[in-house]
């Protein structure tokens, strides 16, 4: 084998190895990719029921229901336009409150109920996940101030937090 052919072979093998490594990295990345939706966006898009997604918005006032068997909760997440019923079988974070921002990660069932595997609550009274804030601003329901005031400003919502 001539020196030129050997160099071409090594270059080809190197490019093939680089391509394979890139494909593996992209495959691993796509398996861990979780899309974020507001309730309105989730309603508008045909998201497959087996696809893991995150939804974010405000926990609707007076929507929190503890299941009778004591094994979880149901609540509604709203962006002011659309509400999504969320079922969660774990322990809610200490900062979870009605009228405050929340991000839930899980899958949507065929009946429309979102089954959350993880629920994340905001950190303090001023924090709102950027995606949730953007969705509320886009829907025209964003207001500066505390979360209870934001939730009370939503149409058809109670202004008396529990």
Per-residue pLDDT band for 15 (boundaries 50, 70, 90) equals very high
Write down the pTM of the prediction: 0.60
Q: What is the pLDDT of residue 19?
A: 93
Helix H or strand E encompassing 25: helix 3-31
Helix H or strand E encompassing 49: none
Residues 39 and 27 in one domain: no
Judge whether 159 lies within some domain. no
Instruction: Give CA–CA dist 101/125, Å, rounded.
Output: 10
Per-residue pLDDT band for 21 (boundaries 50, 70, 90) equals very high
Over residues 82-99, mean pLDDT: 89
Lookup: tokens for 20: 């394979």
Instruction: Give CA–CA dist 71/66, Å, rounded.
Output: 8
| Residue among 123, 102, 113 at smallest CA distance from 58 | 102
For position 120, which CATH number holds? 2.40.50.140
**DSSP one-letter string for 87-110:** EE-SPPPTT--TTSEEEEEEEE-T
What total of structural domains would you count in the chain? 2
Judge whether 83 lies within some domain. yes
Q: What is the pLDDT of residue 77?
A: 92
With a cut of 80, say whether residue 156 has pLDDT above it. Answer: no
Residues 41 and 19 in one domain: no
Average pLDDT, the chain: 80
Per-residue pLDDT band for 31 (boundaries 50, 70, 90) equals low
pLDDT digits (tens, 9 = 90+) for 106-155: 999 988 899 999 998 866 555 566 777 777 777 776 666 544 444 444 44
SS3 assignment, position 36:
strand
Q: Which domain holds residue 112?
A: 35-153
Asked if 128 contacts 121 with a C-beta cutoff of 8 angstroms, the reply is no
């Amino acid at each position: 084998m001539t020196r030129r052919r050997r160099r071409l072979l090594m270059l080809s093998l190197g490019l093939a190895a680089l391509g394979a490594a890139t494909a593996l990295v992209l495959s691993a990345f796509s398996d861990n990719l979780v899309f974020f939706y507001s309730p309105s966006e989730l309603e508008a898009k045909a998201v497959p029921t087996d696809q893991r997604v995150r939804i974010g918005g405000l926990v609707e006032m007076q929507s929190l229901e503890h299941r009778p068997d004591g094994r979880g909760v149901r609540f509604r997440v709203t962006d002011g336009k659309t509400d999504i019923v969320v079922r969660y079988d774990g322990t809610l974070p200490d900062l979870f409150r009605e009228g405050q921002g929340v991000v839930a990660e899980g899958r949507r069932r065929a009946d429309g109920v979102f089954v959350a595997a993880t629920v994340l609550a905001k950190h303090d009274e001023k924090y709102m996940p950027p995606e949730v804030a953007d969705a509320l601003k886009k829907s025209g329901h964003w207001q500066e101030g505390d979360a209870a005031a934001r939730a009370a400003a939503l149409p058809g919502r109670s202004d008396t937090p529990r």
